[in-house]
C-alpha cells in the first residue's frame, strides 16, 4: 500500500509584524503543495529511506541503528502528539550526521530530524520509503516547512492505527476528525525546525482556507471570494528575528506614531476578513470587492514600508507591478522574501505573461496561486 499526502503553502494577506504587537493577521492557503509519498516495505528489508527530490538528498537508515540510538531514551512511539526533548534532538542529529550531510545544505538538517521524530513516533520502526517533492521554495516565507510537516504527518497517520480511514476511497480526499491530530503532530515537527513557531503556518496548511490570528487565538474563516495572486520570490534571504526586533525598537522610539500605524493595519485586517467572507451577487460586485482589496494591499504595503520592513528588491517589484496598475504588498517578514500581486478577474493572460517576463528579467521567481483552497489531502494508490 502506498499513500500520498499533499499540503498547501501559505501567505499572510494582512497584518504581518502588527500581529507581534497584539493585532490581527489574516493568513491563507495557496494552491502550491508539498507532497509526501509513503510506501511500507516488507519487514525483512529493515531500512527507512527518505528521498528529498527537490534538493537532491537521499537518506537510508538501518532500523537496528535507529532503535539503538533512540532506545537509550525510551521508545518514541506514541499515539498522542508529544514534544521532542533536546536529548532526543541530539540523538537524531547523530543519526543524520552519519549520513554525511552536505555542508551547503546544513540548514535543512532540522527538517530531517523532524522526519525521524515524526516517523518513529507515529509508525515506530516499520521499514518504508518516503519521497518528498514540493512546489514551494524553501525559506521564502510561504510556509514550506509547515507544508512538509503537515504532509508528512498526514501520510504517516494514514497508515497508522491512530487514523481510521477508508483506504478504498479513490482520488484526493480530506481528513475529517483526524485533521486536528495531523495539525498537532505537524506542530511538533515545526517546533524541531523553528524552535518556537506560532502554529499559524501548520494550521493553515492542515485546514486550508483562511485563518485570522490574534494574541495566540486562531479563528478559521471561510472565504467566499475566488482570488488569484501572483507571488514573486525576491530570492533575498532575510533575518526574521532582526526585522521583528527593529520594528519593536522603532515602536519604543516613536510610540504614538507606531501605535497609529498598528491600529491602521488592524483596521485593514478586519476589512480583509469582511470582504472575503461576503458573497458577490454579480461580476460588478466582485470587481468592486477586488478593487477594495487592491487598495487595502497598497495601504498595508505603505504602512509596512513606514515601519522599516521593505527592501530594495521589494520596491523593484512594486514599481514594476504599478506600471500595470496592479496592487502589490510584501508578505511575511519582509526584508526580501515574497511579494503578492492581486490579479483581478478582468486582467488578461497576455498582461500577466508580460508582467511575469519583466519580473523574471530581474532574476525574480514568479508563481501563480489560487487563494484559500483546501487543506491537507490524501490519496491511496491501490496498484502497488
| Residues carrying an active site annotation | 201
Cα separation, 330 vs 111, whole angstroms: 26
Q: Report in angstroms the alpha-carbon separations of 4 from 123, 133, 150, 369, 384.
A: 15, 11, 12, 22, 12
CA distance 384 to 365: 36
The whole-angstrom separation of Cα 98 and Cα 107 is 16
- Sign of the CA dihedral with 192 first, then 196, 200, and 203 last: positive
CA 130 – CA 52 distance, rounded (Å):
9
Cα separation, 357 vs 353, whole angstroms? 6
For residue 370, give the H/E element and its range: strand 365-370
Grid cell at residue 1: 500500500
List residues bridging with 341 in a β-sheet. 230, 328
Residue entry with cell 493585532: 23
Amino acid at each position: 500500500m502506498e499513500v500520498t499526502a499533499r499540503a498547501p503553502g501559505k501567505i499572510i494577506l494582512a497584518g504581518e509584524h502588527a500581529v507581534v504587537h497584539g493585532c490581527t493577521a489574516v493568513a491563507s492557503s495557496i494552491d502550491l503543495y508539498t507532497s509526501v509519498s509513503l510506501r511500507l516495505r516488507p519487514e525483512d528489508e529493515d531500512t527507512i529511506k527518505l528521498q528529498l527530490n527537490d534538493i537532491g538528498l537521499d537518506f537510508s537508515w538501518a532500523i537496528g541503528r535507529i532503535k539503538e540510538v533512540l532506545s537509550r531514551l525510551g521508545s518514541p512511539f506514541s499515539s498522542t502528539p508529544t514534544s521532542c526533548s533536546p536529548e532526543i534532538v541530539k540523538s537524531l542529529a547523530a543519526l543524520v550526521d552519519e549520513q554525511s550531510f552536505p555542508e551547503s545544505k546544513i540548514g535543512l538538517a532540522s527538517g530531517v530530524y523532524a522526519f525521524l521524530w515524526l516517523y518513529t513516533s507515529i509508525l515506530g520502526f516499520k521499514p518504508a520509503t518516503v519521497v518528498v517533492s514540493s512546489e514551494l521554495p524553501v525559506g521564502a516565507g510561504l510556509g514550506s516547512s509547515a507544508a512538509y510537516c503537515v504532509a508528512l504527518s498526514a501520510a504517516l497517520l494514514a497508515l497508522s492505527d491512530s487514523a481510521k480511514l477508508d483506504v478504498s476511497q479513490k482520488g484526493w480526499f480530506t481528513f475529517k476528525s483526524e485533521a486536528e491530530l495531523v495539525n498537532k503532530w505537524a506542530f511538533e515537527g515545526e517546533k524541531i525546525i523553528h524552535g518556537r513557531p506560532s502554529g499559524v503556518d501548520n494550521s493553515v496548511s492542515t485546514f486550508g482556507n483562511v485563518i485570522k490570528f490574534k494574541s495566540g487565538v486562531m479563528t478559521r474563516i471561510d472565504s467566499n471570494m475566488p482570488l488569484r495572486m501572483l507571488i514573486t520570490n525576491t530570492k533575498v534571504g532575510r533575518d526574521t528575528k532582526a526585522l521583528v526586533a527593529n520594528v519593536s525598537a522603532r515602536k519604543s522610539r516613536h510610540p504614538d506614531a507606531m501605535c497609529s500605524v498598528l491600529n491602521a493595519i488592524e483596521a485593514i485586517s478586519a476589512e480583509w476578513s469582511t470582504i472575503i467572507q461576503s458573497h458577490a451577487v454579480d461580476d460588478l460586485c466582485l470587481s468592486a470587492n477586488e478593487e477594495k482589496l487592491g487598495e487595502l494591499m497598497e495601504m498595508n504595503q505603505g504602512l509596512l514600508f513606514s515601519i522599516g520592513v521593505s527592501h530594495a528588491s521589494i520596491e523593484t517589484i512594486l514599481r514594476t507591478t504599478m506600471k500595470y496598475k496592479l496592487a502589490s504588498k510584501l508578505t511575511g517578514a519582509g526584508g526580501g522574501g515574497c511579494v503578492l500581486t492581486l490579479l483581478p478577474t478582468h486582467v488578461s493572460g497576455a498582461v500577466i505573461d508580460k508582467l511575469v517576463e519583466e519580473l523574471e528579467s530581474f532574476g525574480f521567481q514568479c508563481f501563480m496561486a489560487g487563494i484559500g483552497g483546501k487543506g491537507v489531502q490524501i490519496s491511496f494508490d491501490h496498484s502497488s
